[in-house]
Amino acid sequence: MRTNLPIASRRTFLKGVVGGMVAVGLQASTRRARAADVSVPVSLQSVLIGKIAAFDRAFQARSGPTARLIVLFKDGDSARVGHQIAAALEQLPDIAGLPKTVESMTWTSPAALAAAVRAKPTALVYLSIGLEAEAPAIAAALAGAAVLTVGATGIIGERGACVAFELEEGKPKIYVNLRVARAQKVDFRAELLRLAKLV
């Protein structure tokens, strides 16, 4: 099943994204106090990723019949969050109307990630916490590749991911880095860009 929503349906869909983000603002703030590593809970991030993918015009074309998702992480807390988001993504019934596979990958180098992405069609790469310093090198290595990168934190988005999530004034916010998105052949619909913070 493909998600080719008419304009009215996309607007309703987008309202659902906004409503979901506002509804969990307080819970996200509470979670932040307990775990300063990720401000927006991974359970919400996974839902938002599923919705955001539907607003990328190139998502289905780059994916092929099955969307390949890679979750990238380091050791320690980075791996913990990585495993959590991988499990949450597995629970999604589909992504942008496509079946999916979720693969976990331990960070080694930008070149190794780029090789994995280019080895076969890759719809999305999630960058876990702890990869903030590596984000610019990751963006450079993936320039020209058709892939949607998603950062666990706003800093990752600012430094080198197409999309990221951050808590602002107690509410989750979607960050969009248009420079990186264009370099990675991601084409977001205007409805999403009006909702997001451009960084």
Where residue 61 sits, what CATH number does that domain have? 3.40.50.2300
2 belongs to a structural domain: no
98 belongs to a structural domain: yes
**Domain count of the chain?**
1
1 belongs to a structural domain: no
Domain span including residue 81: 7-198
User: What is the pLDDT at residue 19?
Assistant: 57
93 belongs to a structural domain: yes
Tens-place pLDDT, residues 12-56: 555 555 555 545 443 444 444 334 478 999 999 999 999 999 999
32 belongs to a structural domain: yes
110 belongs to a structural domain: yes
89 belongs to a structural domain: yes
35 belongs to a structural domain: yes
User: What is the pLDDT at residue 37?
Assistant: 78
User: What is the pLDDT at residue 36?
Assistant: 41
- Helix H, strand E, coil C: the string for the chain is CCCCCCHHHHHHHHHHHHHHHHHCHHHHHHHHHHCCCCCCCHHHHHHHHHHHHCCECCHHHHHCCCEEEEEEECCCHHHHHHHHHHHHHHHCCCECCECEEEEEEECCCHHHHHHHHHHCCCCEEEECCCCCCCHHHHHHHHCCCCCEEEECCHHHHHHHCCEEEEEECCEEEEEECHHHHHHCCCCECHHHHHHCEEC
Q: Residues in the chain with pLDDT < 50?
A: 1-5, 7-8, 22, 24-36
